[in-house]
Amino acid sequence: MQQSYTRPADTLATHEIEIKRSRFICWVARAETEAQAREVINAAREQYPDARHHCSAFIVHQDGAQPIERSSDDGEPSGTAGKPMLEVLKGSGLKDVVAVVIRYFGGVKLGTGGLVSAYTQSVSLTLEHVERVTREVRELGTVDFPHAEAGRIGAELRTAGVDVVDVAYGRAATYTLAFAPGEREHIDALLAAATHGGAEMKEAGQHWVERSQ
């Protein structure tokens, strides 16, 4: 499974350009599923119902599989809008991303090359306004501490840079720790030092975390 990738922050980026009196309004947003991508595309249609075209492209990450990649020319000549938009998204390195370009025709035909250039430029310029975040896999482990010692041990772990993602209180204080793949031995060493060898971490799967770039 891919351990990390870059995607847009959960905000909408927009940019507009004009070429030979045609308006090209681009939206770039996060889409974590194909359904979410189509919701963004439909929202653009609803906001600009009188536009001639609503061309689109998106790339959606899938755990353990190739990303979903789709594009639509939405009435423009085949290959002049959706595919160039998709190529720009692929070149950006982003996943979980959808781009929609809304075109208002200005009365002057741009030709095949002109359309490819316009849609490519529209997405490229909008991507400059996109805030990016990194999504990373973290290993999870659980470990039990005596209640009397849990606060001290937890503080030592946090000071050492270990992410404590959950604490449950029962017969013991059960801490759920998150750490990068390959760091298990380092975490075990920290636990051994903090508990004088009295605590053992159990594997608890994986989860994704997101951080700003």
Q: What is the CA radius of gyration of the chain?
A: 24
Flag residues of the chain having pLDDT under 50: none
| CATH architecture of the region 4-130 | 2-Layer Sandwich (3.30)
Where exactly are the structural domains of the chain? 4-130, 134-212
Residue 196 has a pLDDT of 87
Beta-ladder partners of 145: 173
The pLDDT assigned to 212 comes to: 83
Q: What are the helix (H) ranges across 145-183?
A: 147-159
Q: How far apart are CA 108 and CA 187, in angstroms?
A: 64
Give the model's pLDDT for residue 8. 97
Q: What SS3 class is residue 118?
A: helix
Write down the pLDDT at residue 28. Answer: 98
Both tokens assigned to 96: 């979980």
The confidence score (pLDDT) of residue 1 equals: 56
CATH numeric code, 134-212? 3.30.70.240
pLDDT of residue 57: 98
